[in-house]
Amino acid sequence: MSSGKMFFTRRGAIGAGGGLLLGAASTQALAQARVKKAKGTMRVYQVGAQKSLDTLALVERPIPHPGPGMALIKVHYAGIAARDLGIATGRFPVPPGPRPAGLIPLSEGAGDVLAVGPGETRIKVGDRVTSPHWAHWVSGPWSPKNYEADVGNTIDGWLGEMILLPTSGLVALPDNISSQDAATFSGSGVTAWHALHEVARVRSDDTVLSLGTGGVSTFGVLFAKAAGARVVVTSSSDEKLAAMRKLGADVTVNYKTNPEWGKEVYDKTGGTVSVVLENVGPRTLDQSMAACGNNARIVLIGTDRPPPNPPNINGMYLKNLSMKAISAGSRTMLENMITAISHNGLKPVIAQVIPFDEAVKAYIDMRDVDRMGKIVIKVA
């Protein structure tokens, strides 16, 4: 299906069920009352000293109440991304230095709005929501100011029974998207969407190369195929390559058995690769450029360790390639992506669902287990 056939509409506010339709003020009052009647504490994880995963701690805190521009959310699921592992162990570089020990981690999640601060009109009590991790990036170009409200990094994230988030980033979910699926959207999902639809402007005559089988790559396959494009995937595992073919990949290449995998991709596609999701980083860039046809667009996503020798940028000139780095996506991108997922019935690839009480295992598996797709944590 061509991406031009997707319809992008905003979802209306959720009304109360049960025959009696309450106004927004009455609904909010009931929700606030439910919060006040609940036990006075909630459980959340905090990052602690960020020396190792052993410093992550499950603690009890008073249930907070939202001020202006904030919402109290009952979390259903939280998702984990590579950057969350770096934040928890003090290795994520922006901003420099340790985070407050009481920071609630994780950048992705979904849940129900229990209460909103005074004056809020866009987000309603009862909305089921997610958020980009750049909570104040609504639209337009990316800015370093986004780090001022970076969910799970400079402000509290999703790994708690109840959390406060800025309403500026919240997006209401349609009924045909589960909270479990939505907990994968704000990192991997919107990054792949940004790369393909905002930067590359993917079309049905494109050939898209996506490196690896993680969250961004699996979303990349789903979105590129929905746009009618041909898709190539690389991996070190023949088993995972077979799974990616079932997901929709047209061509697969094992980079472990062929270190010159760029030429193999070029040969198998007849030199037609026009878009690259560079999910690894500088150490694979030479091979990505070798895989490209003329005038291809390379989107830099991965931030893996640099290689001993820098990439040979002559490859850019020889094929007239273009290259752009991105950082996840804005609320508007997330809204458009959610509408497309709902319209096309797409399902993210989820590798594991881990109970809230065992959330540290999600970090360990993120670090140690070679998997296909995303890890999510079931909170409630």
Question: pLDDT tens for residues 261-286?
Answer: 999 999 999 999 999 999 999 999 99
At residue 99, the pLDDT reads: 96
- pLDDT grade, residue 25 (50/70/90)? very low
* Bridge partner residues of 80 (DSSP): 375
Name all domains of the chain by residue range, CATH numbers in brackets: 3-184+348-378 (3.90.180.10), 189-325 (3.40.50.720)
Contact 50, 90 (CB under 8 A): yes
Residue 211 predicted with pLDDT over 50: yes
Residue 313 predicted with pLDDT over 60: yes
Average pLDDT, integer, range 246-270: 97
Per the prediction, the chain carries an average pLDDT of 90
Question: 102: closest CA among 28, 37, 29, 154?
Answer: 154
At residue 344, the pLDDT reads: 97
Alpha-carbon gap, residue 223 to 300, rounded angstroms: 17
- pLDDT grade, residue 8 (50/70/90)? very low
Average pLDDT, integer, range 229-235: 98
Residue 366 predicted with pLDDT over 60: yes
CB-count exposure of residue 150 (10 Å: 0-12, 13-18, 19+) = buried
CB-count exposure of residue 147 (10 Å: 0-12, 13-18, 19+) = middle
DSSP H helices in 153-197: 179-182, 190-193
Which tops the pLDDT comparison, 16 or 107? 107
- pLDDT grade, residue 307 (50/70/90)? confident
Q: Among 20-29, 207-216, 314-323, 344-353, which is the least confidently predicted range?
A: 20-29
With H, G, I as helix, E, B as strand and everything else as coil, classify residue 361: helix
Average pLDDT, integer, range 149-172: 98
Percent of the chain with pLDDT over 90: 85
Average pLDDT, integer, range 8-20: 33
Residue 7 predicted with pLDDT over 70: no
Token digits of residue 138: 């609504």
Question: pLDDT tens for residues 324-341?
Answer: 999 999 999 999 999 999
Which residue type sits at 285?
L
Question: pLDDT tens for residues 285-298?
Answer: 999 999 999 999 99
Alpha-carbon gap, residue 108 to 287, rounded angstroms: 31
Average pLDDT, integer, range 352-362: 97
Task: Give the residue carrying structure tokens 């003020």.
Answer: 25
The single-letter DSSP state of residue 115 is E
At residue 39, the pLDDT reads: 52
